[in-house]
Structure 1
Amino acid sequence: MEFLTATGLSSAAGLNAYIPMLALGLLDRFTTFVNLPPAWSWLSNDWMLWILGVLLVVEVIADKVPVVDSINDVLQTVVRPASGGIVFASGMGAETVTVSDPGSFFASDQWVPVVIGVGIALAVHLFKMGSRPVLNAATVGTAAPVVSAAEDGAAVGLAAAAIFVPVLVIVLIAALIGAFVWLFLKVRRRSTPETGIL
């Protein structure tokens, strides 16, 4: 279950870096549903919650504007995978050594969950980043707000499922992949002119 929770959170981070981090922080701070390990308790710090909230608003707005969304995706190439590593490790309950002792961190297996989370979030992010320009070009930018809203909804759904019903993560990830592939193929078919044989 911990692996499904961590996978759902890191997949959500690949779509929007701040939704799963903010969800973990808020739920740890104000409820008993989430109890972050001590090494990750900074996620529920008041200042961190405000910072994540502001960054989430900026991300949500920027991701809905054609061209700006692609620039934002390039900038998020570091942020989303880093967020994925953080939420995967915190979802797995990983205890990490403080940054002041990186030798101990890498000598142990504590870095493994972080790397797995980075990889999952990076894969989702790269797919999102690669498909958005194609969708924007094929629809003259009209797809940007619709697709972005769907991605935000998927990120919220994945984060909620990961925390409350981890088994649903498998279904949601499969549905997300299917929806992306279907939309990508549909737009690609529409943008490629059919050539007839004379």
Structure 2
Amino acid sequence: MLAALTGMGLSAAAGLNAYIPFLVVALLARFTDVVTLPSGYEWMESGWAIGVGAVLLLAEVVLDKVPAVDTVNDAIQTFIRPSMGGLIFAATTAAAEIDRSTWMADHPWVSVVLGVVISGLVHTGKMAARPVVNGATVGFGGPVVSTVEDGASIGLSVIAVLAPVFVVVALGLLAWLLVWMWLRVRDWRRSRRPPSYAGP
């Protein structure tokens, strides 16, 4: 159960920023005993994987702060964030199930699918809200929201690894935020529609 919560939290974090949870897991596995990656996932803690992840994270942080460019970046990340969510969910679940035969250990594809779905849902909410934020604030709100998203991704990643029992609360807050943003997006779009002409 805790492994599933860890995977869920990291996948949700990947929906906000694909590289933050990856680097959190990779660095903890490389330099501490908190995370032990199983066979087939050891490459995540290699120097080259951490280096590439750090470069991609830097690019993501910069591009996501630039209005209009952030929308293009989100479109590209549509393929990357869910994939990273699936990878991290599978890796952390497999790490927790070492030497144990459980249903999720016997069906690793379930972890991948769950990670992709969770990360994809969070990414979809983020991608839908950003153009509205940029439009409503003439681009000034984008960098602020992006910084909050990066902070949320870091916090969610750390909670998922160190205190997975609190992931349920964190995911509840994130779900509430995404619903709130979706309602704001809907209201904003309705307010921009020209009034319909009913005729004489």
Note the 1:1-198 alignment, pairs <5 A. 1-93=2-94, 109-183=107-181, 185=183, 192=191
CA distance in 2, matches of 1:149, 1:180: 16
CA distance in 2, matches of 1:180, 1:114: 23
Query: 1:178, CA displacement in angstroms?
Result: 2.1
TM-score (norm. length: structure 1): 0.85
CA distance in 2, matches of 1:189, 1:122: 23
2:27 and 2:45 in contact (8 A); partners too: yes
TM-score (norm. length: structure 2): 0.84
Relative distance call for 1:2 and 1:62 in structure 2 (3 A) is same
Q: What amino acid sits opposite 1:33 in the alignment?
A: V
1:138 and 1:187 in contact (8 A); partners too: no
Count residues in correspondence.
Answer: 183
Where 2:41 maps in the other structure, the secondary structure is: helix
Relative distance call for 1:119 and 1:183 in structure 2 (3 A) is closer
Query: 1:112, CA displacement in angstroms?
Result: 1.9
Name structure 1 gaps, 5 residues minimum.
Answer: 96-107
CA distance in 2, matches of 1:11, 1:77: 14
Relative distance call for 1:116 and 1:187 in structure 2 (3 A) is closer
Name structure 2 gaps, 5 residues minimum.
Answer: 97-105, 196-200
Query: 1:185, CA displacement in angstroms?
Result: 4.2
Cα deviation digits, residues 94-128 of structure 1 (max 9, x gap): 69xxxxxxxxxxxx733221111111111111111
Q: What amino acid sits opposite 2:139 in the alignment?
A: G
Relative distance call for 1:76 and 1:186 in structure 2 (3 A) is closer
Relative distance call for 1:44 and 1:22 in structure 2 (3 A) is same
Identity %: 48
CA distance in 2, matches of 1:179, 1:110: 30
CA distance in 1, matches of 2:71, 2:175: 20
RMSD: 2.1
Q: Which piece of structure 1 moves more, 131-140 or 183-192?
A: 183-192
CA distance in 2, matches of 1:181, 1:111: 28
Relative distance call for 1:139 and 1:172 in structure 2 (3 A) is same
Query: 1:188, CA displacement in angstroms?
Result: 6.1
Query: 1:174, CA displacement in angstroms?
Result: 1.3
